[in-house]
Amino acid sequence: MTFDDARIQRFLGTKEVIVLATVGADSAPLATPMWFLHDRAALTMISVDLTQKVRNLRRDPRVYVVAEAGTRGDVRGVAVRGHAQFLTDPGDRLAQATLLLDKYHPNLERLWSGRTMPANRVIFRIAPTHVYAWGLEG
pLDDT of residue 73: 83
- Whether the CB-CB separation of 1 and 34 falls below 8 Å is answered with no
Q: How far is CA 2 from the centre of its chain?
A: 17
pLDDT digits (tens, 9 = 90+) for 105-133: 999 999 999 999 999 999 999 999 999 99
Q: Is the pLDDT of residue 138 over 80?
A: no
Per the CB < 8 A criterion, the answer to whether 112 and 105 are in contact is no
Among the listed ranges 1-5, 38-42, 134-138, which one has the minimum average pLDDT value?
Answer: 134-138
- Using CB atoms within 10 A of its CB, is residue 36 exposed (0-12), middle (13-18) or buried (19+)? buried
- Kindly provide the b/e burial profile for residues 7-23, where b requires at least 16 CB atoms within 10 angstroms of the residue's own CB: ebeebbeeeeebebbbb
Q: What does pTM read for this prediction?
A: 0.95
Query: Please, which pLDDT band fits residue 137 given cuts at 50, 70 and 90?
Result: confident
Helix count and strand count (H, E) for the chain: 4, 7
CA atoms within 13 A on the CB side of 60: 16
The domains located in the chain, with CATH, are 6-88+120-134 (2.30.110.10)
Residues 14-60 have pLDDT tens digits of: 999 999 999 999 999 999 999 999 999 999 999 999 999 999 999 99
Contact indicator for 88, 9 with CB cutoff of 8 Å:
no
